[in-house]
């Protein structure tokens, strides 16, 4: 007999993600949802719309999340974890407010949230907490009895998040022509964000150049690079680089951009490169367009052999990591002291975002943190 795992006090898991269009007619309304009040230039929006149209107006992100839901349900069933899983998005159906309403109607009172972002940042953490607060406010206005909502900690240094990416980089290296393989560089790529937003990412005491956002990515990249060295016996040079910049040109964002980095690698005589998109949980549009289309074209233009390694997606080891994170948090809520899985030196991230963590430009209510109005 399997052990029955205990997620008490939680009675449901909510997968919270970005959402994406599912056909050409969805693209513009989706982009309007994403950019409402965010000051992104019109030109950039038209350009990003074209990325989606290139793929029939369909973002891969929703199918990626459906696959992750399947993997999580299978993992929970196989391990005797009896916890229903729901799915809601910030920018497209199924919308978060509708999902939370359904969860409340189904009688759930203690909801744990898994966001599809592994790192600290306004976009990857606090903005999701603001979305939760907005949705709770909407349900409160409907007269519903609100559930308590908590969010899982950042998982950038969890073994089950890193392992599939380590394996992916090793596989991509093996896929390069033999004569350029050992000299190949690894470019760890993540979403660029405004430097001002990076500098204030994470808890206040860690604010400063790059903040928790850059620190956590450097940690994940270093851990992957170390493991790759151990497994291949080759010390591949690596660097953290950025992609998918938007915003006005006069506002500084994290650099170098992946395509500029490819140019630099080429000029310095690097024989090949593996791009490892560690900033993303699945192969969504930022990966399929910005890396597999744009960066690939740049590498071809430079005659620089390039491979793009896998994101975790619906890997069973990632599903197992989510189960581990749930059990860890549930035990903590019950007053126990579980040992958190966190590789490297930064340790396990906080369970509850402190005041001032990843602040917004204009302060707004955010749930699932110390300053949540919905304790």
Ligand X SMILES: CC1=C(CCC(=O)O)c2cc3nc(cc4[nH]c(cc5[nH]c(cc1n2)c(C)c5CCC(=O)O)c(CCC(=O)O)c4C)C(CCC(=O)O)=C3C
Q: Is 59 known to sit in a ligand binding site?
A: yes
Rounded to whole angstroms, the Cα distance separating 213 from 222 reads: 14
18 binds ligand X (CB under 6 A): yes
Least spacing, CB of residue 167 vs ligand X, in Å? 22
Q: Which residue number has the CB closest to ligand X?
A: 246
Q: How many helices (H) and strands (E) does the chain have?
A: 13, 8
Binding part of the chain for ligand X, among 120-128, 154-162, 315-323, 325-333 by CB under 6 A, reads 120-128
Q: Would you give the binding string for ligand X spanning residues 52-91, x where CB under 6 A is met?
A: -------xxx------------------------------
Site string for ligand X, 251-290 (x = CB under 6 A): ----------------------------x----xxx----
Q: Which of 12, 14, 15, 20 binds ligand X (CB under 6 A)?
A: 20
Cα 252 to Cα 199, 246, 249, 359: the distances in Å are 12, 10, 7, 18
Instruction: Give the nearer residue to ligand X in terms of CB position, either 59 or 172.
Output: 59
Site for ligand X in 189-208 (CB under 6 A): 191, 193
Indicate the residue among 34 and 149 with the shorter CB distance to ligand X. Answer: 34
What x/- string results for residues 31 through 50 when contact with ligand X is judged by CB under 6 A? x--xx--x-x---x---x--
For residue 62, give the 3-state DSSP assignment: helix
Q: Side-chain half-sphere of 264: how many Cα atoms within 13 Å?
A: 12
User: What's the min distance (Å) between Cβ of 337 and ligand X?
Assistant: 30
| Interface pattern 215-244 for ligand X (x via CB under 6 A) | -----------------------------x
Give the binding range for ligand X (CB under 6 A) out of 97-105, 121-129, 293-301, 310-318.
121-129
Nearer to ligand X, 20 or 88 (CB): 20
How far apart, in Å, are the Cα atoms of 308 and each of 195, 259, 284? Answer: 26, 13, 13
Q: Is 191 annotated as a binding residue?
A: yes
Distance between CA atoms of residues 333 and 7, nearest Å? 10
In 3D space, the residue among 7, 242, 19 whose CA is nearest the CA of residue 115 turns out to be 19
Q: Using alpha carbons only, how large is the chain's radius of gyration in Å?
A: 20
* 327 CB-near residues (< 8 Å, 6+ apart): 5, 6, 7, 81, 338
**Best CA proximity match to 220, nearest among 291, 282, 155:** 155
Q: Nearest approach, Cβ of 211 to ligand X (angstroms)?
A: 12
Q: Among residues 121, 172, 309, 349, which is the contact residue for ligand X, using CB under 6 A?
A: 121
Q: Does 7 bind ligand X (CB under 6 A)?
A: no
CB of 81 or CB of 276, closer to ligand X: 276
Alpha-helical segments (H) within the chain: 27-35, 42-54, 61-78, 96-105, 127-141, 159-175, 178-181, 195-199, 211-232, 258-267, 285-288, 296-301, 316-333
User: What strand order describes the sheet that includes 110-115?
Assistant: 85-89, 12-17, 110-115, 148-151
Q: Which residues contact 237 (CB under 8 A, 6 or more apart)?
A: 185, 186, 270
Q: Using CB under 6 A, which of 246, 309, 349, 372 touches ligand X?
A: 246
Q: Locate tokens 């950042």: which residue?
A: 154
| Total residues in contact with ligand X, by rule CB under 6 A | 26
Among 116, 189, 200, 216, binds ligand X (CB under 6 A): 116
The answer to whether 286 is a known ligand-binding residue is: yes
**What sign results for the dihedral spanned by CA atoms 93, 94, 99, 105?**
positive
Contact flags string 122-151 toward ligand X, x per CB under 6 A:
-xx---------------------------
Q: What is the binding site for ligand X (CB under 6 A)? A: 18, 20, 31, 34-35, 38, 40, 44, 48, 59-61, 116-117, 121, 123-124, 191, 193, 244, 246-247, 279, 284-286
Q: Enumerate the known binding-site residues for Fe(2+).
A: 191, 286
Q: Enumerate the known binding-site residues for Fe-coproporphyrin III.
A: 59, 128
Q: Enumerate the known binding-site residues.
A: 59, 128, 191, 286
């Amino acid at each position: 007999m399997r052990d029955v795992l205990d997620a008490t006090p939680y009675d449901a898991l909510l997968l919270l993600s970005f959402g994406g269009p599912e056909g050409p007619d969805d693209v513009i309304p989706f982009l309007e949802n994403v950019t409402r009040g965010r000051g992104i230039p019109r030109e950039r929006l038209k350009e990003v719309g074209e990325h989606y149209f290139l793929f029939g107006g369909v973002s891969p992100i929703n199918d990626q999340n459906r696959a992750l839901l399947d993997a999580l349900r299978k993992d929970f069933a196989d391990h005797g974890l009896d916890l229903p899983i729901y799915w809601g998005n910030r920018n497209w159906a199924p919308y978060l407010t509708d999902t939370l309403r359904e969860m409340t109607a189904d009688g759930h009172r203690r909801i744990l949230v898994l966001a599809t972002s592994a790192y600290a940042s306004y976009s990857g953490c606090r903005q999701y907490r603001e979305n939760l607060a907005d949705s709770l406010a909407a349900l409160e206005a409907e007269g519903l009895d609100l559930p308590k909502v908590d969010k899982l900690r950042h998982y950038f240094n969890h073994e089950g998040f890193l392992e599939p990416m380590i394996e992916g980089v090793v596989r991509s290296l093996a896929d390069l022509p033999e004569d350029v393989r050992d000299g190949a560089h690894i470019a760890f790529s993540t979403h660029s964000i405004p430097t001002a937003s990076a500098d204030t990412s994470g808890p206040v005491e860690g604010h400063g150049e790059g903040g928790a956002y850059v620190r956590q990515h450097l940690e994940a990249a270093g851990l992957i690079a170390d493991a790759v060295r151990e497994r291949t016996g080759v010390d591949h040079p690596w660097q953290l680089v950025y992609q998918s910049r938007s915003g006005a040109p006069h506002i500084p964002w994290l650099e170098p951009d992946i395509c500029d980095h490819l140019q630099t690698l080429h000029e310095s005589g690097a024989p090949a490169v593996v791009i490892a998109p560690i900033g993303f949980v699945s192969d969504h549009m930022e990966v399929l367009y910005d890396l597999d289309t744009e960066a690939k074209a740049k590498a071809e233009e430079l005659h620089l052999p390039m491979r793009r390694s896998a994101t975790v997606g619906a890997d069973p080891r990632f599903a197992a990591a989510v189960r581990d994170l749930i059990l860890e948090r549930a035990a903590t809520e019950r007053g126990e002291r579980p040992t958190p899985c966190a590789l490297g030196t930064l340790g396990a991230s906080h369970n509850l975002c402190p005041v001032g963590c990843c602040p917004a430009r204009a302060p707004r209510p955010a749930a699932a943190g110390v300053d949540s109005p919905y304790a």
